[in-house]
Structure 1
Amino acid sequence: MMTRLKIGACLTLDTLPDHRDWIFEADRDLELQDFLSHAALTTDRDVLIERARQALDGFRGKLSIHGPFEGLDIDNKDPELRPVITARFLSALEVADRIGARKMVVHSPYTLWYQNNLHSYPGYAETKLARIHDVLGPVLRRAEELGITLVIENIQDVRPETRRAMVDSFGSDAMALSIDTGHAQLARRMSGAPPVEDFVRDAGAQLAHVHLQDVDGHADRHWAPGEGEIEWSAVFRAIAECEAPPHLVLELRDATHIPAGFAYLRDRGLAV
């Protein structure tokens, strides 16, 4: 019989009250997604941190935050912009520490373009990786000091081993892998990537975080499980076989669909 896995959700400070009892009473995993914008990490940061502290009073589950990403490519080619991106991530790390989050999601920079052009440009892989280290090196060192893990989420990744090798290159326990099930399924349909469960199996012991969302294979829908085409039994079987249970959170576009998504997985013996 498959082990049922406890799951939580990605929420904002505005949507958390609607799901507070479900999250808090069972000590479920929670990912806060309020600290993404420029304002949230600069002018509004302290106010949001205080709101988060109050909202999290009594919370005993595992907490993460989603780091900023729009316009903040971790392999940015402009040497004047890379320090700005690093500074934004460092600000988000401080937020995570101040509210008690021990994981922060960072977006992967790998794409189908990269995979198809890997051997077309001399040194392409090495120069890209060097830029990534330039941006994330100081962030990782600070994460190590704070006891926070950076989890690298697949976005347009086609080969899961490419992102895993990037994580390996840092040689730090403060960096691990995140899998977004919907993104993996989109890559399967659009770019010939492996099935979602293979992303999980490739990650193995490095898997520390999972965004659970369903898609139709055409767009990044962030539907509740059961509304799309993902083979959830296979995905949960692979997750259950990991050495340590990752942070498991429903990441749905409409938070009101969280109960339905949870019920779908629960009724199939996959989640509690």
Structure 2
Amino acid sequence: MLPILSTHLFLKQRLHPGLLETAARSGARGVELFAARQHFDYTSREHVMELAAWFASNPLEPYSMHAPLFPDREMGRAGAPAVNVVDPEKSRRIDAMDEIKRALEAAEHIPFKKLVMHLGEKYESWSLRTMEYATTALEHLGAFARPLGVSVLVENLTSDATTPEHLVTILEMAHLDQIGVCLDLGHAHIAPGIAEAVATLGKRIAEVHVHDNHGLKDEHLWPGDGTIDWAATLEALKSLPAAPAAVLEIGYDLNDATAAIPDRIQMSFEKLA
């Protein structure tokens, strides 16, 4: 599996070339840019061009981008509504799609290939309304992303609306064959189980988010620090027709010593080899 590091690990910091160099030294072949304005300000031409210039002269690949979860610089702590494409209010759904399109426009200068997006928030319920809104968003954003050379991936969360079975229902009912899936292993470990998720999503899985937890909440721990059976997980992933990219998505609030982070990244990739 292609080793990719999500910049989610550095979410408390402005994304700069030094952090990208840390990823490269730690064995990553590419990065998934986490689109949060306080970290990667996709609305700032200066910031986008700074990173574009670095990628143009270095072998580390801008593999993918995680769509924004909030439109502000405080991850919603000051009251900004979430970027929710299945919100009951039409105006908020439109605002959410507009925010994701702003992030996608960075692909004009930073040639990432995939956009990972959420369908709603972590407690979103499943309904015909949710399916309708999700279909509309995926059709619209997929069409917007395609000319930029980007394919859209939808992620399984811990909500009823985004179980592997419901994601497959959305994609099959709407004939969204161009939309893939990012299988989040930590979310699947909470429910319904990783092997079951792999079996359900199958060939649609284009990348996996790699992190660990204890099966109760979304902790984003380093692999091996929770209760995921990594040998069984790797065996399940081997059943896929094509090996997905392995995107290491570690929590930014684990308080790891800065000097230890490169070794932890490298050890995590070795665990997945």
TM-score under structure 2 normalisation? 0.79
3-state SS of the aligned residue for 1:80? Answer: helix
Contact map agreement 1:164 1:177 (CA 8 A) in 2: no
User: 1:252 corresponds to which residue?
Assistant: 250
Q: Does 1:7 align with 2:7?
A: no
User: 1:228 corresponds to which residue?
Assistant: 226
Q: Does 1:81 align with 2:92?
A: yes
3-state SS of the aligned residue for 1:129? Answer: helix
Cα RMSD of the aligned pairs, angstroms, is 2.6
| Mapping for residues 31-110 of structure 1, pairs under 5 Å | 31-33=32-34, 35-37=35-37, 40-42=41-43, 45-56=44-55, 57-59=57-59, 61=61, 63-70=63-70, 71-109=82-120
Report deviation, 1:16. Answer: 1.9
Q: Which amino acid aligns with 2:175?
A: G
Once the two structures are superposed, residues 76-119 of structure 1 have per-residue CA deviations (whole angstroms, 9 ceiling, x without a partner) of 1111222211111111111134200010110133867625xxxx
In the alignment, structure 1 segments of 5+ residues that lack a partner are 116-124, 187-192
| Mapping for residues 184-203 of structure 1, pairs under 5 Å | 184-186=188-190, 193-203=191-201
Identify which range, 133-142 or 219-228, moves more after superposition: 133-142
Q: Structure 2 vs 1, CA of residues 62 and 136 (structure 1 numbering), >3 Å: closer, same or farther?
A: same
Query: What is the rounded CA distance, in whole Å, between the counterparts of 2:154 and 2:227 in structure 1?
Result: 24
Q: Structure 2 vs 1, CA of residues 183 and 258 (structure 1 numbering), >3 Å: closer, same or farther?
A: farther
Query: What is the rounded CA distance, in whole Å, between the counterparts of 1:195 and 1:133 in structure 2?
Result: 25
Report deviation, 1:230. Answer: 0.4
Q: Structure 2 vs 1, CA of residues 171 and 60 (structure 1 numbering), >3 Å: closer, same or farther?
A: farther
Query: What is the rounded CA distance, in whole Å, between the counterparts of 1:110 and 1:237 in structure 2?
Result: 30
Query: How many residues of Structure 1 are paired with residues of Structure 2 in the alignment?
Result: 244
Contact map agreement 2:153 2:182 (CA 8 A) in 1: yes
Q: Structure 2 vs 1, CA of residues 138 and 152 (structure 1 numbering), >3 Å: closer, same or farther?
A: same
User: 1:174 corresponds to which residue?
Assistant: 178
* Identity, % of aligned positions: 23
Query: What is the rounded CA distance, in whole Å, between the counterparts of 1:265 and 1:41 in structure 2?
Result: 28
User: 1:118 corresponds to which residue?
Assistant: none
Query: What is the rounded CA distance, in whole Å, between the counterparts of 1:164 and 1:258 in structure 2?
Result: 36
3-state SS of the aligned residue for 1:114? Answer: coil
Once the two structures are superposed, residues 11-57 of structure 1 have per-residue CA deviations (whole angstroms, 9 ceiling, x without a partner) of 25342222223446xxx232111x22389243xx2122112212312
Contact map agreement 1:205 1:244 (CA 8 A) in 2: yes
